[in-house]
Amino acid sequence: TPLGKPRTIQIQVISGHCLPKPKGEKVGEAIDPYVRVELHDVRTCSDGREEYVSDDCQTSVVKNNGFCPSWNSGEYKSFQVHNPDVAMFYFQVLDEDLGLDDKIASAAIPVNCLREGYRSISLCSGHGSHLPSGPFEYACLLVRIHFDEIDGA
């Protein structure tokens, strides 16, 4: 499929691995992780204007398991991608907490860098740094990605 064609991308978040505690702390309670997937895109309107569009979804919360949480719903979320050349997916792992949820880790991936199938996504700290060692060295998400072209596009 040539890049640039509108398409539907289905994403299933399957599991997480070696998710660190908030701010990379070594002690404290086990986290209650969930994943938010966001699509950031640009759509061209019928009058030629371009407008920013976004869509998102999130998994259920897995209680007390930051080591290897799994989301076994088997459900995919379908995202309508209008402009794959500029669209980007943002994966965030959050810790459900009383009040404000803590951001654990994240990854941003341009749509034109995605490949179909089962994929491991390396995660970075909340500040976007990916250190070669430390709490984020092995932190990742396992996802499944499927592409469908939009008919008539």
Tens digit of each residue's pLDDT (9 = 90 or more) over 115-133: 999 999 999 886 656 555 5
Mean pLDDT over 55-83 rounds to: 93
Residue 72 tokens read as: 């076994």
Q: Is 22 helix (H, G, I), strand (E, B) or coil?
A: helix
Taking phi over 0 as left and psi of -120 to 50 as alpha, with beta for the rest, 128 belongs to left
pLDDT band at residue 71 using 50, 70 and 90 as cut-offs: very high
Cα dihedral 72, 141, 19, 59 sign? negative
Residue 39 tokens read as: 């699509």
pTM over 0.85: yes
**Beta carbons of 150 and 8 less than 8 angstroms apart:** yes
pLDDT of residue 147: 93
Question: Is residue 14 over pLDDT 80?
Answer: yes
pLDDT tens sequence across 101-119: 999 999 999 999 999 999 9
Quickly list DSSP for 97-152. -SSSPEEEEEEEEEGGG--SEEEEEE-B-TTS---SSSTTSS-EEEEEEEEEEPTT
pLDDT band at residue 23 using 50, 70 and 90 as cut-offs: confident
Q: What percent of the chain has pLDDT over 90?
A: 67
